[in-house]
Structure 1
């Protein structure tokens, strides 16, 4: 007796991931060395108050993490700020969030290439920055054209390796502070507050950059279909991941500030890789080379993955009608890679490494990220305050606090970053209306 096709159940993802799996996954995405890349930039902007900026950013992210977790309950198979905002608020608002996320995807390989170039120059300073920049952009592009992408297992191994390097660094730092620097009295508190250099406006601007430490935590919500008890575990994992990364990051920059107290900004030649220069003071050439190599590998992997993600997002937009399908929705017949998009992202990255600085790129990336954060908090506020009868703790207070804090930090981004960010949104809205008017009988463009 044959089984009818209709009686065969459709394959489904297995719900096998526990809470601790999600937390480890979140830490792998963000990376244990997350604050080291932006340390010099934040130090210069906030006049040494890097620890305080990390902790303020953590508070904002904790509120937003709760909102992400709660929205994952409502849309367990989506895991996207674009979807949350588009369905709860307005499709156009969702499009703006999606377009802002695209800017983040395009900026990520740029700042990774900038950092890799600066780190490589630490090892071989006779080779000019331009040569390193072109080499890394070409490497990112060639690897993606060949279909090379980092697997979850490789990322996990890298995360373990980076965690061991962090432990080694902290051991050297404790030894340095105990036997050489020997801070006394109020010197232990100056990384949190130094009255001689403190400026509220600069602290907030530094915080707007320090948020880059936590970028990626929202990826946990994409695992909703594979998690045991997703209604509980997605939110807990998102919150615990932000909390663990925040505490670890604060510790990393705290010892760095004690070892290298703020007496002025890092020079331009050192600012992007300032943390490895702190490592040289703490542990000599060995620790300098170890940390420099570790962060170079981490940013190299992030750059390749970021370009991979940007090309796939453009492909999804082309396939969904948000961008011209003939170019953006095309796949290479030989290896099923969106070659047009990979080459386009490579070209944008090549221009970006010469036009942007690491600081400007980081601020622009956070401009888009905070639009998504504000959107998710607003979606959670609207859903749980006005539409849902489900009783949740502080259903209005938490998303409202996340929205207000995120908006406040967003407004303190650098003026140039805001101008460029709003220009990008205006470009996206113009494209949106052109596509809509050109296809009056078609549905709204989709990012999915």
Structure 2
């Protein structure tokens, strides 16, 4: 995640330190796009295509509608809680602390699964470069590397992230030019250019929503804009606009990328052992071996950055839970004094990523998908709980308790909740089972610790980075 320089200023009257509001609308949009990354749909293209019978564009656009509605709810709630910027805070404050806990526990699932799916993806991408090493050797290498980097306290600067983002835009442009050149020399039937949106031979509503349940992963991270409320100029206006525009730009750019890919590949399914490399395979068909390696390497680097960042974030969240006594404080609430990092948690997340990537891959034939595919959908299980929670909180605050109601305060959160809920129930059976087991375990644990949620268990806020 990009780190924005924080300028501290003194209040003219009281001398109290506060964050300087320097981020304009465009700054917020750039930060959001850097967090999501321009290649977001490439890694999950094969998973969406297989589930949606080739209708990747349609799935991406439906997911964009759901995320735009949810983005409006996020932006509105950021006005009410400008320093919190978290779904569980919105739900806990507006509805009930127990529901806030449930949303927070779902978010913990996201934080833990993100390093897992990045480890699985990087292993498959690396096998395209050095196929002599097996998947299980690569997950050891990447899980160990991510852990080693985070144990050293290494941070990725905003400038490096922006440079990486710019490089990805260039790679996307090269890919699109290659597709145009390839399509120019192809034979086209009358439905060639509209088939990526709708192919009557393979279209089925249930498969579209199954694909959409994965396509939403393209937009994960848009809500991070709301955490910058205290550093934004005119946050009541710009946070809402930036959150919505980040979703819109991401959806349109992603739609162009996957539309171009579908023109080349069509609706052919990808073999289960090649689903992580799907976009690289399309690139090879459009631009040869060189473009294959460029796309493959770009996605490998992007997921390495995401893997390291998500592991550190997961370690920090577990530290916040340990510090709040939701988990054993002696282990999860400990800070390594030299580098001031939650060392135990970082190691635990690394071991979880390695073990989870290996176990899910081992049982992939029985579960009906690879480790990356199952992990991605299970991650969305928790994400959709958070999205539904934010829409519900916005409905309660602005419609049930609001003084200046208008129809958008009713329809936006209700439609956002319904669409997110409909997509949520169309997750695959393995993802629903894994998610349900996780939620039952968390709710049971929370109920026992709080005597039926009659006392506060934990505040799920990630503590700020110490200077």
Give the TM bin, normalised by the shorter chain: over 0.9
Residue number among 368, 378, 383 corresponding to 1:364 in the alignment = 378
Match of residue 321 from structure 2: 317
Within 5 Å, give how 1:247-258 maps onto structure 2: 247-258=252-263
Pairing 1:394–2:408 present:
yes
- State the secondary structure of the residue aligned to 1:315: helix
Match of residue 100 from structure 2: 94
Pairwise CA distance, 1:269: 2.5
Structure-2 separation of matches of 1:438 and 1:148: 41
Pairwise CA distance, 1:432: 1.1
Match of residue 404 from structure 1: 418
Match of residue 68 from structure 1: 74
Pairwise CA distance, 1:326: 1.3
Pairing 1:241–2:246 present:
yes
Pairing 1:211–2:216 present:
yes
Runs of 4+ that moved beyond 6 A:
none
Match of residue 130 from structure 1: 136
Match of residue 465 from structure 2: none
Match of residue 175 from structure 2: 169
Pairwise CA distance, 1:391: 4.7
Structure-1 separation of matches of 2:265 and 2:69: 32
Pairing 1:230–2:235 present:
yes
Within 5 Å, give how 1:360-439 maps onto structure 2: 360-391=374-405, 394-437=408-451
Structure-2 separation of matches of 1:16 and 1:183: 51
Structure-2 separation of matches of 1:153 and 1:319: 32
Pairing 1:444–2:448 present:
no
- State the secondary structure of the residue aligned to 1:12: strand
Alpha-carbon contact 2:120-2:139 (below 8 Å) kept: yes
Residue number among 39, 44, 51 corresponding to 1:45 in the alignment = 51
Match of residue 293 from structure 1: 297
Structure-2 separation of matches of 1:443 and 1:129: 43
Pairwise CA distance, 1:393: 6.0
Alpha-carbon contact 1:322-1:447 (below 8 Å) kept: no
Match of residue 59 from structure 1: 65
Identify which range, 151-160 or 26-35, moves more after superposition.
151-160
Structure-2 separation of matches of 1:24 and 1:138: 31
Q: What RMSD in Å do the two structures reach over aligned CA positions?
A: 1.7
- State the secondary structure of the residue aligned to 1:266: coil
Match of residue 342 from structure 2: 338
Change in CA separation of 1:193 and 1:6 when aligned onto 2, cut-off 3 Å: closer
Match of residue 275 from structure 2: 271
Residue number among 19, 23, 27 corresponding to 2:25 in the alignment = 19
Q: Deviations over 1:250-274 (max 9, x none)?
A: 11000101111123x1112311110
Change in CA separation of 1:439 and 1:21 when aligned onto 2, cut-off 3 Å: closer
Structure-1 separation of matches of 2:184 and 2:342: 54
Pairwise CA distance, 1:34: 0.3
Match of residue 364 from structure 2: none
Change in CA separation of 1:432 and 1:53 when aligned onto 2, cut-off 3 Å: same
Structure-2 separation of matches of 1:418 and 1:299: 25
Structure-1 separation of matches of 2:12 and 2:220: 43
Structure-1 separation of matches of 2:422 and 2:272: 29
Alpha-carbon contact 1:149-1:304 (below 8 Å) kept: no
- State the secondary structure of the residue aligned to 1:191: coil
Match of residue 307 from structure 1: 311
- State the secondary structure of the residue aligned to 1:269: helix
Residue number among 77, 84, 88 corresponding to 1:82 in the alignment = 88
Q: Could you tell me the TM-score, scaled by structure 2's length?
A: 0.92
Structure 1 unmatched ranges of 5 or more: none
